[in-house]
Amino acid sequence: TLGLQTERSQFLLEGMPFRIFGGSMHYFRVPREYWEDRMLKMKACGLNTLTTYVPWNLHEQTRGKFDFSENLDLEAFLSLAAKNGLWVILRPGPYICSEWDLGGLPSWLLQDPEMQLRTTYKGFTEAVDAYFDHLMPIVVPLQYKRGGPIIAVQVENEYGSYAKDPNYMAYVKMALLSRGIVELLMTSDNKNGLSFGLVEGGECLREKQTPLVHFNSVFVLVQRDQPKMVMEYWTGWFDNWGGPHYVFDADEMVNTVASILKLGASINLYMFHGGTNFGFMNGALKTDEYKSDVTSYDYDAVLTEAGDYTSKFFKLRQLFSTIIGQPLPLPPMIESKASYGAILLHQYISLWDSTSAIQLLSPLQPIKSEFPVNMENLQLNDSSGQSYGYVLYETVIFGGGHLHSRDHVRDRAQVFVNTMYVGELDYNTVELSLPEGQGFRQLRLLVENRGRVNYGLALNEQRKGELCSLLLDCAWPFSYSLRHTAGWSAVPDYFVGPAFFRGRLWIEHQPQDTFLKLQGWEKGVVFVNGHNLGRYWKIGPQETLYLPGPWLWKGSNEIIIFEERTAGRIIQSVDIPYLGRTQYVD
């Protein structure tokens, strides 16, 4: 078998001219039960290729322990693509960007104070080699030349924008080839990284040239004798907390896609289906200021966060149908969404009571240190540290005064004296006044990792928690389960966070997708039947959290909310998402 090849200005598959009509969907952002539904919708839109990243930080959360099960079953995902007639372009990293925490790199890499991510630094390449040793035996048998769906593999991701090590891309290429990758190798960069992201022997497929003039200049000047392809044509954009919900005009987007296809080019739609940054996995940006990404990765993509059709889908389906010249499969029916109404959160336990209960009921003990320890270096999880969430730092003080963070809080700290809330420290607020008082008192900092930066030159500086000495000598890792903790009580008439709230959602019939609206709540995280749905924050834009039907049970469903400050009494289950005030971008 010949596989995917290039011959002058066109792709060949098995020696025949071939155009890639691709769409991105990430298995780790979509419940496994919906993988096939989304693939069938790809086919119904006229696409022939699926592209996906592989998130190292989920597959190796604890160093040396690998997980390719359940929602991380990459083999099952790729085999399902093959079953449904989709070719695959695999983007295995090790770095993936993707608006994902640290661009998919495991946080335990940052335990090494000398770490140089995305370079040939020994500590990094040894970790990549160990990861690829486990990943590639899954991937290799699923290549086209072995009878599988994988027709191309990307070498790293957007390295031209990083380009710290001239030897790095050659290293990644050899790491793939030496482990049995035999399909076409690709690189992908934006226009600013064109001259730095190449690797000898790999086809350089350009991405993100959204204005048509850039398509023309790149195709003519850079790819004179290579196939034309836009590896990432952005169908929408991602959102940051405190900003608007970005949308792209559907007609403008489809007209641009039509112009690209008219040139005879191949294309990959990023995203076809965005999905959700479940848990604490969202990334962040840091240019002039730090901005963390919201939980939803709806992206204003061709399918919504819950997999529903948009006008973009039907306009693209008509366009691809015309180009392909034959009828497309009928679009699958849309699953209806449920509105389960008001859910009362009837039980409560404060953070301060919960830490006491956990200390009594489990072997987890505070970590004592003369100086604060950042999350990644906490001696937890088989010495892999704490990757995400919160850390509670405590120490004893006498009297009042000023607390100055020296900009060492990553990313946001609520400050308490005993249990009294004093204020917050973050990138903009670096000093607080502490009230005077008699005797010794506890100073507590509840520090949240809001998401590591996933793009740019600051990856090596993404350690989280309290990075340097304030006054602290004891840290509580905030990484335990409360599902069996004693100490829950009825919600009092007056309460203030940080606290946990628990309620039940009763479902009479087969569960359906729904959306949780947290009006009246301030900031926190929602867990349903043990699944972390992600963060909410009243500053928006996102106002509802997606709750997939497969994560619900017929009968009683447990909902636990960690609220940092001001809690409501109820949450609403609604059948329509609200992602915030829209702002059109071009």
Catalytic site positions: 158, 232
Cβ distance 530 to 570 under 8 Å? no
Rounded CA-CA distance 8/10 in Å is 6
Q: What angle do CA 302, 305, 309 make, to 5 degrees?
A: 40
Nearest to 454 by CA among 93, 111, 173, 195: 93
Convert 466-531 into a string of H (helix), E (strand) and C (coil).
ECCCCCCCEEEEECCCCCCCCCCEECCCCCCCCEEEEEEEEECCCCCCEEEECCCCCEEEEEECCE
Rounded CA-CA distance 443/433 in Å is 12
Q: Is the dihedral of CA 275, 280, 286, 291 positive or negative?
A: positive
**Around Cβ 381, how many Cβ atoms within 10 Å?**
16
Which residue reads 């034959």 in tokens?
A: 326
Q: Is the dihedral of CA 469, 471, 473, 475 positive or negative?
A: negative
Nearest to 500 by CA among 392, 345, 366: 345
Rounded CA-CA distance 266/20 in Å is 5
Which residue reads 């709750």 in tokens?
A: 547
Cβ distance 444 to 498 under 8 Å? no
Which residue reads 């290799």 in tokens?
A: 140
Please name the residue ranges forming H helices in 195-249.
212-221
Estimate the crossing angle of helix 74-83 against helix 122-139, to 10 degrees: 40
519, two tokens: 């009006």
558, two tokens: 């447990």
